[in-house]
Structure 1
Amino acid sequence: MRFRRLWRMWYCAAIIAPVVLLAACSEPLVEPRAPRIPTTVIDRYNAIVATAEAGDDLLARARAYYDRGNIRFEQQDYPGAIADYDQALTLDPSMSRAFHNRGLAYALLGEYDAALRDYAQAIRLDPAYRRAYENRVQLLEQLTASSSDETLLQQLADDYGSLAQLIPEAEAPYRYRQGVILVRLGDRTAAREAFDAVLRARPQDVDALYERALLHYSAGDLNAALADLDAALRLSPRAANAYYTRGLVRYAQGNTRDAIADFGQALLLQPAYPEALIARASAYVDQGNRTAAQADLQRLDDLQLDPVLQQAREALRQRISVP
């Protein structure tokens, strides 16, 4: 269960006032793709291109270049493949698969902008072109892994939505990924709609329950957040982060006793959990149990803390030291 930590959100609220293909395709990426064959086969395709060039049939010439481009792609001659796809598209600009395959070649050469342009054109020509969406998603995931480019993130979210429609049996995983990206974009309403769709398709999806709980929590709907976390923990009772987050919700509701119990359960499952230690120490301070709070803060001395957690720890120490 991929629960995310919310300690920064909790810290602000409670202390100072949390390249891979998405759907592996068993079919080859290039369409159509010839079986692996000796390099000398290119001579045969050179002859086919020459024969087509001698005729007047533009579509036959386009197909000849396209087919030779696929062989060159198969042989990992990506610049040669791109040159043939260029010729094919000059002769037949409606050849969506040539745009798609050229996009693949550009992506493999690291020319990502050109690849995205070709995928977009392939999809414009064929809006139900599933493989073009899948390969664009793969590239967008790679590009957004270390980038917060909103245009790319929005395109990725849109593509997840398109694939959810094109592949109904995979709606839940694609909608889930769409929701995660929409959270990154700050579009909480659309993100919640995506997680709602996941849970309609797969009511026991614990990740979607948790993500939706986070959205409810951030919106101040504590009862809805608590309901989703309760459901998630019934399905996955060893999820430390879910106990921690439920503790935050109960703490925000003023239920300090049960919040401490949840933080404690999170620590039983994950003893080196600094956010849960800080949260429980703060709750102990509110109860007037300074001894227990100090014990939790001492456990933090054995853990590596980032600057924000260090600041939270020091703020708690100051609270404890004040009579």
Structure 2
Amino acid sequence: MTAPASARSHLRAADNDDSFAARQLRIGLQHYAAGGIKEAIAVYQIGLAAAQNEPSGNRSIEIIWELHSKLGNACMVRGDLEFAAVNYRAALRLAPHLTDCWCNLGNVHLQTGTPLDAIALYGQALKLNPAHRPSLTNLVQALMATNQYLLTKGLLSELVGERPQDGEIRKQLGRVHFELNDLESALQCFRQAVVLDPRDADSMYWIGGIKQAQGDFAAAEAAYAEAARIQPLIRRPAAKLPAEFRVLALYAPFAGNLPTGYLFQDAAYDANTLALFASSQYDVELLDQDVEVVVNLISDADQADDALWSLAADLVGRIGKPAVNHPLVVRKTTRDAVADLLRGIPGCRIPRIWRQKAGADPSIETLHEALAAASTILVRPVGTHGGDEFEKIDGLAELTALLAHRPETDRYFIEYIDYRSSDGYFRKYRFILVDGQILPYHLAIAGEWKVHHDSTDMADHVWMQREEEAFLSNPATVFNASHYRALREIHARIGLEYFGVDCGLDGSGNLVVFEANASMLVHDRNEQFPYKAPFVLRIKTAFDEMLRKLAIAGAAKRVRAASGLSNM
């Protein structure tokens, strides 16, 4: 942040004021401009203390609110959002006309997960200055964070009309169209953004993603390749200065990847993401610059091909930094491989899984032998998640008819284990395992066997919400010591630093594991379930702390190596 234009006239008062507080304000601004944020904070605080000690008749209210405002800005840069908010509020009590303060206080609420409060604060700023660009831009972000896409679309459409040469606005409108599932309009917006800025790699990545979703893989690959040529690394700077460390994340546009929109949000570290293509060459020395941790985002073992796994593993090895979810470990987490890997854990039921190859024509006997003659079978295409194309097959006739149709892709046949609770509802629990911690993420309750939190009607049932909140607050009320022993054994056998487990409990109290992999989504868009916020944040905090620990360990190892010391 720099001193906004609206405040410059007030800063002239400091230039003409020879009080100690005014001098501290000027010195603080100099430190801030030179990048000395820590020094600026100290000087602003000294100035405020001095101003408070002056006789009331000698105090310059203008200098005091400027000190609070600038101290808030410096705290934002340092990542101390709570203290930033305290100072913005103090400034606004003295000077409620400060458009930038209202906007920045809104930014604090947006970054701390209260976007509805942020919207109200941006509204205050826009009452003072309807053309205030930062407030308009951040209001868009807050509206999107609360899923108010139609309102956002209207606001951005007006802004496009006012600023037809602003590619960033068109890009934001493209994202809104995407959320509204209007893919053609989204494509048009991103293409217009590229016309305005031919080096807009971000819009090209979006075009690639939409084309991939539409099944036009040739166009998707061309867009991805052009984006990667212009900007091999997608850079997300830290939310504070200086960044604590730098992460290199590896993802594959044509494979399943761990969603990081929330995990990397408002981080204290720089996150650079590299798109991997099996046919590409990469400059390891360039990628390795200042990187402390490598995070492999390629998470679906069924979607990436052998060449991509080899490339990702080779890069991790050549970079030689601590890694999260090594590609060679993730590669072993196909559904059928995980079922075999977890077999035999006491008190834990793992459904048997058989994989039918594309075009194969198996017999009923082969299938029954693989699944121990299960009477009810679940079927899903390999590489899919959620409830799409996921069916339950009951009886021999239905199964015979299904097997008569040879699939174009591999598919999984999964033994069905009844996990219905005594009250007739099905309960699916999700844990996220982070660096050995077993953290609850959600409980989904439904009247049907195919349970996904987003598709349940939990928002309409208070008792379901209360039960989920109770589980999140104290999972031990549902999962006993033997269940936790099983979860710890699952963590040990899977061998990943970050992954999720979806599970239930059968009528005998056994843990029933539906899946365990690194692809599970964690997000903070829980407006209908606000009680989830602290538990979701806990997962992100654990993720950040894991990266911080690895960065510190990696740096210490290099220091020892440079000093000729052995690892101890």
Query: Structure 1-normalised TM-score?
Result: 0.60
Equivalence for 1:61: none
Distance 1:175 1:155 in 2: 12
CA shift for structure 1 position 191: 1.7
Q: Does 1:193 align with 2:133?
A: no
> Residues 178, 269 of structure 1: CA spacing in aligned structure 2 closer, same or farther, 3 A cutoff?
same
Percent identity, aligned pairs only, is 14
> Residues 175, 163 of structure 1: CA spacing in aligned structure 2 closer, same or farther, 3 A cutoff?
farther
Equivalence for 1:300: 227
Please point out which of 57, 81, 93 is paired with 1:150.
81
Distance 2:205 2:250 in 1: 10
Q: 5+ residue gaps in structure 1?
A: 1-18, 34-96
Q: Does 1:184 align with 2:111?
A: yes
| Structure in which a larger fraction of residues adopt strand | 2
CA shift for structure 1 position 222: 1.0
Please point out which of 258, 276, 286 is paired with 2:185.
258
Distance 2:94 2:253 in 1: 45
Q: Does 1:116 align with 2:45?
A: yes
CA shift for structure 1 position 262: 0.8
* Paired residues of 1:179 and 1:190 also in contact (CA < 8 A): yes
> Residues 176, 30 of structure 1: CA spacing in aligned structure 2 closer, same or farther, 3 A cutoff?
same
Q: 5+ residue gaps in structure 2?
A: 32-38, 235-246, 257-276, 278-301, 306-382, 384-408, 410-568
Distance 2:166 2:26 in 1: 43
Larger RCO of the pair (alpha carbons < 8 Å, separation 6+): 1
CA offset digits 1:78-121 (Å, max 9, x no partner):
xxxxxxxxxxxxxxxxxxx66x3585598589485475155056
Aligned residues: 235
Distance 2:26 2:14 in 1: 14
Distance 1:209 1:250 in 2: 18
Q: Which amino acid aligns with 1:207?
A: P
1:131 alignment partner, SS class: helix
Distance 2:69 2:3 in 1: 8
> Residues 30, 219 of structure 1: CA spacing in aligned structure 2 closer, same or farther, 3 A cutoff?
same
Query: Structure 2-normalised TM-score?
Result: 0.36
Q: Does 1:290 align with 2:217?
A: yes
* Paired residues of 2:170 and 2:190 also in contact (CA < 8 A): yes
Please point out which of 124, 134, 150 is paired with 2:66.
134
CA shift for structure 1 position 175: 2.3
CA offset digits 1:96-153 (Å, max 9, x no partner):
x66x3585598589485475155056358759712122134334433542x1113332
* Paired residues of 1:183 and 1:191 also in contact (CA < 8 A): yes
Equivalence for 2:253: 313
Between 213-222 and 132-141, report the one with greater CA deviation. Answer: 132-141
Q: Which amino acid aligns with 2:116?
A: T
CA shift for structure 1 position 319: 6.8
* Paired residues of 2:14 and 2:26 also in contact (CA < 8 A): no
2:199 alignment partner, SS class: coil
* Paired residues of 2:201 and 2:228 also in contact (CA < 8 A): no
CA offset digits 1:220-244 (Å, max 9, x no partner):
1111111111122122122222211
2:198 alignment partner, SS class: coil
> Residues 135, 263 of structure 1: CA spacing in aligned structure 2 closer, same or farther, 3 A cutoff?
same
> Residues 240, 116 of structure 1: CA spacing in aligned structure 2 closer, same or farther, 3 A cutoff?
same
> Residues 207, 117 of structure 1: CA spacing in aligned structure 2 closer, same or farther, 3 A cutoff?
closer
1:238 alignment partner, SS class: coil
Equivalence for 2:243: none
Q: Does 1:21 align with 2:3?
A: yes
| Structure in which a larger fraction of residues adopt helix | 1
Between 194-203 and 107-116, report the one with greater CA deviation. Answer: 107-116
Q: Which amino acid aligns with 1:227?
A: G
CA shift for structure 1 position 28: 3.5
Distance 2:40 2:209 in 1: 51
Equivalence for 2:446: none
Q: Does 1:232 align with 2:159?
A: yes
Distance 1:244 1:310 in 2: 24
